[in-house]
């Protein structure tokens, strides 16, 4: 797997970031908090969301002020290019591959589907354990033997074999459960033959009863059929008689209803004819009043229009006259403004000349204010007095010298302590050998007596005691030196503060020198005078602008006055035309018009009352026509109903002659009796057949159970063999896991030894890695002796943890094509960081692509590509730099 490109949007401190990765060593560098490790977290989320470490939560990754978190990863695997895109906020995702011409989907577009596909391509555990070395793994390696073994299991994939070993146990338990089930089944089905014999006897009895009952049913069915036929004939005859009686009652009702309907229709025709006569008189009156009504409407309409238009136009005319008068008054006022405008223009030019003469002084004053502001800010930042700066400089120089002395003394103490511990080990070993020895001394080879043995043991014990006291003295001295070193380091940390304060002091002196060149009081007065002149100029220009604006309105006012006069003339013409229309109608005044309208109003009201008479007359005539037609149809229908009623009564008399109620009841009783007897026989036969079928089904199942019992017996033998094979395979997995772990740890130990030797300048000659019951023990070889982690200084412990973790990944270098290291240099001193650069160049180049995140600039020397991350206005910014290999 090789990462090609990462695109991140609104992820933690990243707004929109694009990063390209190449083969070789890619270094992501920048200060802590700038967003370096966020790029690795985004890569992990882009590939495997929603699977991710517990410290990566959805609510914590959206950038403050961002809209939605999006991650796109381009990578190559086995010669095929892929891309995965995820919108974490909206829960959207897709995965595609490139077929040489275009991108195509590899799965459905959902977060879980993409995660499952990626899990099949590169499992999450493999990526997180073998490929990605996260911050904190070095601490886990150094924490304890148990935590170290957990890291080894995860990186080397030993958990898979442990899972297989446990799973095979579960398989064996399942086989044993099935064996037990088969044995129970065979025991419970031992008496199948006896059950089958009993069922066969029961089946024989049932068949005999069926044979006796079967002939009786056809005889009963024949007799019942004859009775049922006669009963059907009588039922049909009775039904026909009842139907005829019902029809006769219906016909009689219809005749009575038709007779009543005829009387109502004749009465209605008389009333309609009377109504038509009344309406014909109203229609004649309506046509006579039509002319007066139309004249009334015409005069009313004109009267309304006359009143509305006259009132509206008279109001407009009055408004136009008022506006014309106001414009004439304003034009008179504007004639006085021209003189004032010329006076103000002259005053404006005088003020501008004075202001220009003061501009140099104003600029100088602004510069003085800027210098004073800078001086005040610098003085606030200056925390030390000149004598304190000088004293701090001397303290820092002394601290540098003392640090070198302490480090040299600590190295001497470590060396001497190692020699003393070696002597203690040698003497303790000698004591043990002496306690076991018999005959000759294992040290000098001379004859060994009990007294001589005790003397030698006592001597060695005293030597061990003296050496241990000396070691404690060295430890006490080391503790004091390290305590003093902490204080010295605290003093040295103030060197940056000293440099900053010295620079501030020099800047303050320079600014104070510049300020002495200016006449501050004279410049201040010049600025005040300039401000007063500018205020006066503003007032003059404001008044001048207002006057010119008003004066420029004269022409517009003249134009507006002419427009208003034309509109007034048009209104006056309209009023004259309106009076002309009144005269054309024959009236000299509106009063005459109102009198004529009043005269015509009663005729108009009567006209409205009679307006619907014509349509109502037409409607009544049509109604008369429909009613007369309906009367004729009713008379015809009455004649037909009477004839039909007569025929039905004759047919009823003929049917009643053929029917006997007594015979009908007797036949019905016979039919019920025979039906019950037949139903009983059929039910009895059905129960016997059901019993027969059930018994046969039981016999069939018992036969099948007999065959199944043979199969289960055979299955039991197979299960017993399978249990033996699973137990054998489980033992092989256990042995293979132990062998794989032993081989891997041996190779990891070799690689870790090489790296650790270089990190410690070959002070140590190797690293020991041993698998024990409770974990993996890690040690070092010094002067031919093996020591635990307690023998190492703090920096050496960190170097050993880093060497061991890199060795684990290098052991897998033939299987992985990508390695990611997040901050591999925490707590390493400057010398070990430089050596790590050499190690990366020599060892990590065995892996096709390496991505390293660090804040240490020294690692640039080992990188093929540098990706620099900085923080600008709270947002992470990335710049990429190609380097020569």
Cα 848 from Cα 2, distance rounded (Å): 8
Helix (H, G, I), strand (E, B) or coil at 15: strand
Q: Is 869 left (phi over 0), alpha (psi -120 to 50) or beta?
A: beta
Helix (H, G, I), strand (E, B) or coil at 108: coil
What Cα–Cα distance (Å) separates residue 107 from each residue in 80, 93, 110, 225, 312? 16, 10, 8, 74, 79
* Residue 65: φ, ψ to 5°: 90, -5
Is it true that the peptide bond before 517 is cis, omega within 30 degrees of 0? no
The annotation status of 791 as a binding-site residue, yes or no, is: yes
Tokens representing 748? 């990891």
Tell me the torsion sign for CA atoms 661, 662, 663, 664: positive
Neighbours of 881 (CB within 10 A): 12
The annotation status of 476 as a binding-site residue, yes or no, is: no
Tokens representing 838? 């050499």
Helix (H, G, I), strand (E, B) or coil at 853: strand
Contact 511, 371 (CB under 8 A): yes
The annotation status of 795 as a binding-site residue, yes or no, is: yes
Cα 567 from Cα 791, distance rounded (Å): 113
What Cα–Cα distance (Å) separates residue 467 from each residue in 410, 427, 431, 435, 831? 18, 10, 15, 21, 32
Q: What is the CA radius of gyration of the chain?
A: 60
Instruction: Report which of 883, 880, 882 is spatially closest to residue 29, judged by C-alpha positions.
Output: 880
Q: Which residues have a Cβ under 8 Å from the Cβ of 464 and sit 6 or more positions away?
A: 424, 427, 428, 431
- Strand arrangement of the beta sheet that strand 849-854 belongs to: 103-105, 92-98, 80-87, 70-77, 2-11, 14-20, 875-882, 865-872, 24-29, 849-854, 818-822, 132-133
* Residue 197: φ, ψ to 5°: -65, -40
Q: Which residues have a Cβ under 8 Å from the Cβ of 49 and sit 6 or more positions away?
A: 71, 86, 88, 93, 111, 115
CA atoms within 13 A of residue 636's CA, in its CB half-sphere: 6
Tokens representing 820? 């990611």
The annotation status of 542 as a binding-site residue, yes or no, is: no
The annotation status of 794 as a binding-site residue, yes or no, is: yes
Cα 524 from Cα 398, distance rounded (Å): 51
Contact 14, 47 (CB under 8 A): no
Tokens representing 860? 């640039």
> Which string of DSSP letters, residue by residue, matches 731-760?
HHHHHHHHHHHHHHHHHHHHHHHHHHHHHT
Tokens representing 719? 């299960």
* Residue 144: φ, ψ to 5°: -165, 170
CA atoms within 13 A of residue 561's CA, in its CB half-sphere: 14
Helices 794-811, 661-759: axis angle to 10 degrees equals: 120
The annotation status of 796 as a binding-site residue, yes or no, is: yes
Binding residue numbers for Zn(2+) = 441, 444
Binding residue numbers for ATP = 12, 135, 791-796
Binding residue numbers = 12, 135, 441, 444, 791-796
């Amino acid at each position: 797997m090789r990462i090609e490109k990462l695109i991140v949007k609104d992820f933690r401190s990243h707004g929109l970031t694009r990063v390209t990765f190449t083969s070789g060593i890619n270094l992501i560098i920048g200060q802590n908090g700038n967003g370096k490790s966020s790029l690795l977290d985004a890569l992990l989320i882009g590939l495997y969301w929603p699977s991710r470490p517990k410290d990566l939560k959805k609510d914590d990754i959206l950038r403050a002020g961002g809209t939605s978190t999006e991650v796109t990863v381009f990578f190559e695997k086995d010669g095929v290019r892929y891309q995965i895109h995820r919108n974490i906020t909206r829960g959207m995702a897709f995965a595609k591959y490139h077929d040489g011409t275009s991108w195509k989907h590899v799965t459905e577009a959902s977060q879980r589907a993409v995660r499952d596909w990626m899990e099949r391509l590169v499992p999450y555990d493999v990526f997180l354990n073998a490929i990605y070395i996260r911050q904190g793994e070095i601490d886990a390696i150094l924490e304890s033997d148990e935590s170290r073994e957990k890291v080894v299991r995860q990186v080397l994939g030993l958990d898979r074999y442990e899972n297989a070993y446990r799973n095979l146990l579960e398989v064996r338990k399942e086989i044993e459960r099935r064996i037990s089930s088969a044995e129970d089944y065979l025991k419970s089905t031992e008496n199948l033959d006896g059950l089958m014999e009993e069922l066969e006897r029961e089946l024989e009895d049932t068949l005999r009863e069926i044979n006796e009952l079967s002939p009786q049913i056809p005889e009963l069915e024949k007799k019942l059929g004859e009775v049922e036929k006669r009963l059907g004939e009588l039922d049909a005859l009775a039904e026909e008689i009842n139907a005829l009686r019902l029809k006769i009652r219906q016909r009689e009702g219809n005749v009575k209803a038709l007779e009543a309907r005829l009387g109502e229709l004749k009465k209605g025709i008389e009333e309609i004819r009377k109504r038509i006569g009344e309406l014909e008189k109203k229609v004649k009156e309506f046509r006579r009043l039509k002319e007066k009504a139309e004249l009334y409407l015409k005069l009313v309409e004109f009267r309304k229009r006359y009143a509305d238009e006259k009132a509206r136009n008279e109001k407009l005319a009055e408004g136009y006259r008022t506006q014309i008068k106001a414009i004439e008054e304003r034009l008179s006022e504007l004639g006085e403004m021209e003189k004032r405008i010329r006076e103000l223009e002259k005053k404006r030019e005088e003020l501008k000349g004075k202001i220009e003469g003061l501009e140099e002084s104003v600029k100088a004053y602004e510069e003085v204010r800027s210098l004073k502001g800078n001086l005040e800010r610098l003085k606030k930042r200056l925390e030390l007095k000149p004598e304190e700066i000088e004293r701090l400089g001397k303290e820092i120089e002394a601290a540098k010298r003392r640090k070198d002395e302490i480090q040299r003394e600590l190295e001497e103490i470590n060396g001497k302590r190692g020699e003393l511990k070696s002597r203690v080990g040698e003497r303790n070993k000698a004591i043990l050998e002496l306690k076991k020895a018999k005959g000759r001394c294992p040290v000098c080879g001379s004859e060994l007596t009990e007294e001589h043995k005790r003397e030698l043991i006592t001597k060695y014990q005293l030597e061990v005691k003296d050496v241990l006291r000396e070691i404690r003295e060295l430890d006490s001295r080391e503790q004091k030196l390290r305590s003093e070193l902490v204080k010295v380091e605290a003093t040295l940390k103030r060197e940056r503060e000293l440099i900053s304060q010295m620079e501030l002091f020099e800047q303050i002196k320079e600014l104070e020198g510049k300020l002495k060149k200016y006449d501050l009081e004279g410049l201040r007065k010049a600025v005040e005078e300039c401000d007063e002149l500018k205020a006066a100029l503003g007032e003059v220009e404001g008044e001048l602008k207002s006057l010119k604006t008003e004066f420029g309105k004269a022409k517009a006012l003249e134009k507006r006055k002419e427009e208003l006069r034309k509109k007034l003339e048009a209104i006056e013409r309209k009023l004259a035309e309106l009076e002309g229309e009144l005269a054309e109608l024959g009236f000299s005044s509106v009063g005459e018009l109102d009198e004529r309208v009043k005269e015509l109003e009663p005729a108009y009201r009567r006209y409205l009352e009679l307006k619907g008479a014509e349509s109502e007359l037409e409607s009544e005539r049509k109604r008369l026509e429909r009613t007369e037609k309906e009367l004729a149809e009713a008379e015809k229908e009455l004649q037909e109903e009477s004839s039909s009623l007569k025929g039905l009564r004759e047919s009823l008399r003929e049917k009643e002659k053929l029917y006997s109620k007594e015979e009908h009841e007797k036949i019905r009783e016979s039919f019920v009796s025979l039906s019950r007897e037949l139903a009983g026989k059929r039910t009895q036969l059905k129960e016997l057949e059901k019993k027969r079928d059930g018994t046969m089904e039981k016999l069939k199942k018992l036969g099948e159970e007999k065959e199944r019992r043979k199969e289960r017996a055979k299955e039991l033998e197979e299960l017993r063999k399978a249990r033996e094979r699973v137990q054998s395979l489980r033992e092989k997995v256990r042995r293979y896991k132990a062998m794989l772990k032993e081989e891997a740890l041996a190779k990891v130990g070799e690689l870790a030894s090489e790296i650790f030797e270089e990190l410690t300048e070959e002070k140590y000659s190797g690293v020991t890695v041993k698998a024990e019951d409770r974990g993996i023990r890690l040690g070092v070889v010094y002067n031919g002796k093996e020591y635990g982690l307690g023998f190492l200084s703090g920096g050496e412990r960190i170097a050993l943890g880093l060497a061991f973790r890199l060795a684990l990944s290098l052991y897998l270098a033939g299987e992985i094509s990508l390695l990611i290291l997040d901050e591999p240099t925490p707590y390493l001193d400057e010398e070990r960081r430089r050596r790590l650069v050499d190690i990366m160049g020599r060892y990590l180049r065995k892996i096709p692509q390496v991505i390293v995140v660090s804040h240490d600039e020294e690692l640039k020397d080992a990188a093929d590509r540098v990706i620099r991350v900085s923080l600008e206005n709270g947002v992470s910014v990335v710049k990429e730099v190609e380097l020569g290999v």
